[in-house]
């Protein structure tokens, strides 16, 4: 079992930056593939980024590509999402997800076994 707790969300003006953190506890964090998704009101959960257990491989969704960087620190059991040049349409609840052995596509929510409670990001115009 893995417990995930996101933090770092908040209110920011358009063009600003935020860094989200996801702290994991439970089983061996370093063996898990970690991802970030987001969900705006009335919309489906959307893939943002994924990173391999070692950090050596990562992939970004189209919605924020070029404006986000995913990273992890296995010594701190934490994965990060640095978000830059934020836009009002980036307003959403951002979720951290984890899976030890992925069987489906990494961009699909159903491919992950564990989820955090989410952190709200609001970008004002």
pLDDT tens-digit profile of 60-74?
A: 999 899 999 999 999
pLDDT tens-digit profile of 63-108?
A: 899 999 999 999 999 999 999 999 999 999 999 999 998 788 999 9
pLDDT tens-digit profile of 1-24?
A: 899 999 999 999 999 999 999 999
pLDDT tens-digit profile of 29-63?
A: 888 999 999 999 999 999 999 999 888 999 999 98
With contact defined as beta carbons under 8 Å apart, do 93 and 115 qualify?
no
Q: Which residues pair with 4 in a beta bridge?
A: 24
């Amino acid at each position: 079992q893995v417990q995930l707790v996101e933090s770092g969300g908040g209110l920011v003006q358009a063009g600003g930056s935020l860094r989200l953190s996801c702290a994991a506890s439970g089983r061996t964090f370093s063996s898990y593939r970690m991802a970030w998704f987001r969900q705006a009101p009335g919309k489906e959960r959307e893939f943002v980024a994924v990173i391999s257990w070692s950090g050596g491989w990562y992939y970004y969704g189209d919605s924020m590509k070029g404006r986000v960087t995913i990273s992890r620190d296995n010594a701190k059991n934490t994965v990060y999402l640095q978000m830059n040049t934020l836009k009002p349409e980036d307003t959403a609840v951002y979720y951290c997800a984890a899976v030890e052995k992925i069987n489906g596509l990494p961009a699909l929510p159903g491919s992950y076994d564990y989820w955090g409670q989410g952190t709200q990001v609001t970008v004002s115009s």
